Amino acid sequence: MRVNTFMKAALAAVVLLCAGFHASAQSSARAASADEILFEVVTQDGVRVKMRDGVELVADIYRPRAQGKFPVLVERTPYDRRGEAGMARELAAHGYVVVLQDTRGRYESGGEFYPFKYEGQDGYDTVEWAAALDYADGRVGMFGGSYVGATQMLAAMAHPPHLLAIFPYVTASEYYDGWTYQSGALLQWFASSWTSILAEDTLRRKAGETARPKDWVAALPVESYPVLKPPAAADLAPYFQDWLRHERDDEYWRQWKISDHYGEMTVKGLHGGGWHDLFLKGSIKNYMGLRERGATAAVREGQRLIVGPWAHAPTSPEGKVGDVTFGKSAVLDMTGTALRWFDYALKGVQNEYATAPPVSLFVMGENVWRSEREFPLARTRYTKYFLHSSRGAATAAGDGSLSTNAPGEERPDEFVYDPADPVPTIGGRLCCGQALPPGPFDQRPNEGRRDVLVFSTPPLERETEVTGFVTVELYASTSAPDTDFTAMLVDVSPDGYARFLTDGVVRARYRDASTRAEKLVPGRVYKYTVDLWATSNLFRAGHRIRLYVSSSNFPRFDRNLNTGEPSSVSSRTGKAEQKVFHDAARASTLVLPVIPR
């Protein structure tokens, strides 16, 4: 069965990222010290592990060839366990038993795959099985990124007794907001591309399970050949339809809402996130939630956070993300990081995770790492930059400006949003595949559009650090019964290069809560809070802080059709006349977490 070029490239990217390669093009383990023993590694392939409902999952085991018992590290992946054999061998050589397992309904494991549904119970059963292996010492950790991070968080939510530590990288804290939707808008590119990647293996299984063409060819009638009668599209990804049916944050999503269960969790955690990653909010929230609400004092004190300039794709050896090179220090040695973390969390080694501050942040612009005691930083000065214009802020040729001076009497800015001609996504927080690469890219191609409002500071006289959560408080009206408003923060260098930093969206009918839709009155002015998540960036002297305001960022977010009808079932569109207010009574602002220097 042939796979199209997009799916091959996308699948390769996801396997590299989510099966353990993650942020780095270098996955070599830390160098062994002179007195450290490196073990020969024994492998056992295709081990079948029975779950509580009788379904058997398949795993490979890598362990030291030595007497004695060792801690176990488990990775449960939907992306083919065999893709992480190299990292597993290196971890095992350093004194760990490593279990790589295909999750339910993926590759060689039995059962039906449905995202998130079985990961809690299967994770619990796998951890407890691993802890009881003859050569295991009863201490178990889990590692991996993206959905592999979800398998850890959902297992931790089920709190198996022997799971002591996790290393979830670029993953979410819930699967409505920040995975499938953002402030009511569908993360359309991710939902569509990720589902397409998953569907490849599902199609193979549905068309003939583990059979091959030579096994199918004898079947009669000839028209029963599986490729001629593939499964219905709905059978390949029924969960995608469920996601569209549940566009509100309702009970469907709450059954897997990690953030509701921090108080029950009993694991130490190293939470890895990327400033350009589409799950950044969840990585930070998992750290903060467990740091504040973990089940015990030891659990709360056992949380660590590392955030680099990474996107949801491998980083080049030079530290290039998107089209920006941050330097070799930005490259994460994934295997070495995992070893040091689990040496501390499972073996009690007094390394940097025992002695250093719990938070490690990469400050972009300055391109340096910095340790912190907390996140957000206690010394943050939340500073309001007010939106201004006189002639109008549409396009970079307008006179839209940002300043800390409150506005007086100013006319609103106006633009027309047409869902048939949306503002195109250029980089940023994306996944998956090469068709739309993620990371920081130059946003100038969109600055000439009449439906993009551009607000900028003058060239900065002194450097300004922004580290933490970013929001936009927007006073706006629309002629439509429903619409979206988007915002994006960029760093503009003296040559005009506009580097993406962070972005956000709000769907108007979910302006107050994602749990309920509230109708708009066309023409009425509402206050919208646009959550731009977080960033860390040093704006150099001579650079400008710039904010774009619009109503689309497609296909990162699905288009609001402006009709009030769900975009999942409707194709009817309408134009919306948008007004953004920035006067004394309705002062629209960009709120930045400024760090004193």
* Euclidean distance between CA atoms 484 and 550, whole angstroms: 8
pLDDT score, position 27:
38
Same domain, 367 and 390: no
Residue 200 lies in a domain: no
Same domain, 365 and 467: no
pLDDT score, position 9:
42
- The CATH number given to whatever domain includes residue 484 is 2.60.120.260
* Euclidean distance between CA atoms 161 and 142, whole angstroms: 13
Q: What is the pLDDT of residues 417-438, one digit of tens each?
A: 999 999 999 999 999 877 899 9
Nearest to 385 by CA among 269, 256, 544: 544
Confirm whether 146 is a catalytic residue: yes
E-state strands within 108-208: 136-145, 163-169, 181-182, 185-186
Same domain, 412 and 276: no
Q: Which of 94, 162, 276, 312 is catalytic?
A: 312
The pair of structure tokens assigned to 316 is 């080049």
* Mean predicted confidence (pLDDT) in 159-177: 97
pLDDT score, position 419:
96
Least confident stretch, 112-126, 164-178, 190-204, 368-382: 190-204
Residue 215 lies in a domain: no
Domain boundary among 372, 389, 416: 372
Residue 184 lies in a domain: no
Amino acid residing at 217: V
Residue 231 lies in a domain: no
Same domain, 330 and 413: no
Task: Give me the domain span that covers residue 150.
Answer: 5-30+40-179+253-372
Same domain, 329 and 350: yes
Residue 204 lies in a domain: no
Same domain, 292 and 389: no
C-alpha R_g of the chain: 25
3-state secondary structure of 408: coil
* Euclidean distance between CA atoms 477 and 526, whole angstroms: 6
Q: What is the pLDDT of residues 17-38, one digit of tens each?
A: 443 334 343 334 444 554 577 9
What pLDDT band is residue 217 in, cutting at 50, 70 and 90?
A: low
- The CATH number given to whatever domain includes residue 156 is 3.40.50.1820
Same domain, 482 and 549: yes
Q: Please give the tally of structural domains in the chain.
A: 2
Residue 243 lies in a domain: no
Nearest to 508 by CA among 525, 491, 493, 492: 525
The pair of structure tokens assigned to 449 is 């559009």
* Euclidean distance between CA atoms 153 and 265, whole angstroms: 9
Q: Which of 277, 451, 531, 558 is catalytic?
A: 277
pTM of the predicted model as reported, rounded to 2 decimal places: 0.92
pLDDT score, position 26:
39
* Mean predicted confidence (pLDDT) in 288-317: 97
Same domain, 368 and 387: no
* Euclidean distance between CA atoms 113 and 508, whole angstroms: 34
Same domain, 263 and 298: yes
Residue 211 lies in a domain: no
How many residues comprise the chain?
Answer: 597
Neighbouring C-beta atoms of residue 573, cutoff 10 Å: 16
Same domain, 332 and 435: no
What pLDDT band is residue 3 in, cutting at 50, 70 and 90?
A: very low
Confirm whether 277 is a catalytic residue: yes
Looking at the DSSP assignment, which residues form a beta bridge with residue 274?
308
* Euclidean distance between CA atoms 135 and 234, whole angstroms: 44
* Euclidean distance between CA atoms 20 and 91, whole angstroms: 12
Half-sphere exposure of residue 550, counting CA atoms within 13 Å on the CB side? 28
* Mean predicted confidence (pLDDT) in 302-323: 96
Same domain, 354 and 385: no
Domain boundary among 349, 372, 395: 372
Residue 214 lies in a domain: no
Q: Which of 109, 146, 536, 552 is catalytic?
A: 146
Same domain, 437 and 364: no
Domain boundary among 319, 339, 372: 372
* Euclidean distance between CA atoms 530 and 501, whole angstroms: 15
The pair of structure tokens assigned to 107 is 């590759």
pLDDT score, position 227:
57
